[in-house]
Amino acid sequence: MNTAAEALLGTSKKNTLGKLLHDTVELPDGLLAHISTARLNGNTLIERETTIARRGAPAAIVDCMITPIAARNKPGSIELLIEIFDIDRQNRIANEQQLLEQQQQSQTLLRSLAHEILNPLGGIRGAAQLLEQETQDSDLRDYTQLIIGEADRLKDLLGRVLGPHSPLQMKPHNVHDIIEHVTRLLLSSTPQINYHNDYDPSIPDFICDRERMIQVLINIVVNSIKALKQVEQAAITIRTRVENNFTIRNKLIKLVCRIQIVDNGPGVDPNISESLFYPLVTASEGGTGLGLSIAQSLVIQHGGLIDCQSVPGNTVFTITLPLQETEGAPRRHGEST
Ligand SMILES: Nc1ncnc2c1ncn2[C@@H]1O[C@H](COP(=O)(O)OP(=O)(O)O)[C@@H](O)[C@H]1O
Ligand SMILES: [Mg+2]
């Protein structure tokens, strides 16, 4: 059993060596039958899209290939090589890749547009100021004030589209301190929302830009609070976990930190669920649709990714951040475990 198989099956070589297969991992009946057949008749068998239950992790959908080979040290008997292809993971990687490319394209478009608007906007504001100085009429001043006010609002909005341009201030931080800071800021004034935390105390400090991570969490938690407005027994849970051998953008990361923000609101509007992280996508009145796109960009700057899973009553935003990268080449699609 190689390391990837250990990670997939949630067990270890030490725990399985010398034991019966069905005592150590829970394999579906169809697959067990295939394994027996392969042993009896010596043919290679492939089982597609079968589900493997795992302890403490969601079930994995896999393709399995069973190849009988002559036993090296027992002439006449057969050994089986079982290769497991985690197709869930491969689909997830492909989806992530697509999401990311689309997001980067719209981000580039939006940034150029923002730059184009910002320049003349300065001119418009300046002209309105000059006009204001020239006029004594207070009614006309209302109009110039309106122009100046709206120009400032637009400038602020475009500033947010362009995002922070200072270099990242990377330092080691405790992830729970950052979360606590955000929950104090946002959830202490919302007694109608039941707040729980479910922390993994073993998470090591990780290197990040504290202000930007705070911004990420604020953008996500603010959305949850908004979504919970009409909900009775509203609840938000923030969960943290470390995980081994996790793939982000086709790169195997030895150790990642996962932060989940869970709410029991009505769920993400299905009309926008595919484009949730794109700039200007919003389903809320008065929303700008910038919160999640900014949060995603900031997390990408840290080498991570945000994704969302939502059904009515259970919406989960998961931030995955690398704690420790593996050296060596990224893994190829289709690599077996
Ligand atoms: N926790 C959530 N529950 C339901 N819908 C959500 C949640 N978080 C985000 N959304 C949806 O995603 C949209 C985009 O969010 P965001 O990018 O922050 O922009 P904005 O909040 O300005 O609309 C929101 O308008 C909302 O419809
Ligand atoms: Mg928002």
307 in contact with ligand 1, CB cutoff 6 A: no
* Structure token digits, residue 297: 């960009």
291 in contact with ligand 1, CB cutoff 6 A: yes
Closest ligand to C-alpha of residue 296 is 1
Q: What is the pLDDT of residues 129-149, one digit of tens each?
A: 999 999 888 888 999 999 999
Task: Output the CA 301–ligand 2 centroid distance in Å.
Answer: 20
Q: Determine whether 331 is exposed, middle or buried from the number of CB atoms within 10 Å of its CB (0-12, 13-18, 19+).
A: middle
Task: Indicate whether 85 pLDDT > 60.
Answer: yes
160 in contact with ligand 1, CB cutoff 6 A: no
287 in contact with ligand 1, CB cutoff 6 A: yes
Task: Indicate whether 234 pLDDT > 80.
Answer: yes
State mean pLDDT over 220-227.
96
Beta-ladder partners of 246: 253
Q: How many angstroms separate the CA atoms of 144 and 80, rounded?
A: 81
> Are the beta carbons of 178 and 210 closer than 8 angstroms?
yes
Question: In which band, very low, low, confident or very high, does the pLDDT at 326 lie, cut at 50, 70 and 90?
Answer: low
Q: How many angstroms separate the CA atoms of 234 and 232, rounded?
A: 5
SS3 12: coil
292 in contact with ligand 1, CB cutoff 6 A: yes
Question: Which residue minimizes the CA distance to atom 27 of ligand 1?
Answer: 283
- Candidate from 106, 230, 284 with most ligand 1 atoms within 8 A of CB, to mutate: 284
Task: Indicate whether 336 pLDDT > 50.
Answer: no
Q: What is the pLDDT of residues 40-78, one digit of tens each?
A: 888 888 888 888 887 666 778 888 899 988 888 888 788
Cα–Cα separations (whole angstroms), residue 207 to 104, 218, 258, 332 = 24, 19, 14, 27
Question: In which band, very low, low, confident or very high, does the pLDDT at 333 lie, cut at 50, 70 and 90?
Answer: very low
255 versus 26: the higher-pLDDT residue is 255
State mean pLDDT over 161-182.
88
Work out which ligand 1 atom sits closest to the CA atom of 220. Answer: 8
Task: Indicate whether 334 pLDDT > 50.
Answer: no
Q: What is the pLDDT of residues 203-212, one digit of tens each?
A: 999 899 999 9
* Structure token digits, residue 239: 């969960």
End-to-end CA distance of the chain: 9
- Candidate from 231, 262, 282 with most ligand 1 atoms within 8 A of CB, to mutate: 282
Beta-ladder partners of 196: 237
265 in contact with ligand 1, CB cutoff 6 A: yes
Q: How many angstroms separate the CA atoms of 236 and 266, rounded?
A: 13
Can you give the pLDDT at residue 56? 65
Instruction: Label the pairing between strands 235-248 and 194-198.
Output: parallel
Question: In which band, very low, low, confident or very high, does the pLDDT at 271 lie, cut at 50, 70 and 90?
Answer: very high
pLDDT-above-90 percentage for the chain: 41
Element (H, E) at 258: strand 251-263
Range in 70-74, 113-117, 304-308 with the lowest mean pLDDT: 70-74
Q: Which residues contact 336 (CB under 8 A, 6 or more apart)?
A: 65, 83, 84, 85
Task: Give me the half-sphere count of Cα atoms (radius 13 Å) on the Cβ side of residue 316.
Answer: 10
Helix axes 210-227, 175-187, angle to 10 degrees: 40
Q: Does domain 3-90 have CATH number 3.30.450.20?
A: yes
Q: Per-residue b/e over 190-228, b at no fewer than 16 CB within 10 Å? A: eeebebeeeeeeebeebebbbebbbbbbbbbbebbbebb
Q: What is the Rg, in whole angstroms, of the alpha carbon atoms belonging to the chain?
A: 26
Q: How many angstroms separate the CA atoms of 126 and 155, rounded?
A: 13
Can you give the pLDDT at residue 337? 45
Can you give the pLDDT at residue 45? 86
52 in contact with ligand 1, CB cutoff 6 A: no
Task: Output the CA 191–ligand 2 centroid distance in Å.
Answer: 20
Q: Determine whether 326 is exposed, middle or buried from the number of CB atoms within 10 Å of its CB (0-12, 13-18, 19+).
A: middle
Q: What is the DSSP letter of 328?
A: S
Architecture label for domain 170-325: 2-Layer Sandwich (3.30)
Q: How many angstroms separate the CA atoms of 1 and 55, rounded?
A: 17
Ligand 2 ion: residues within 5 Å (CB): 223, 291
Element (H, E) at 105: helix 87-134
* Structure token digits, residue 132: 């204001």
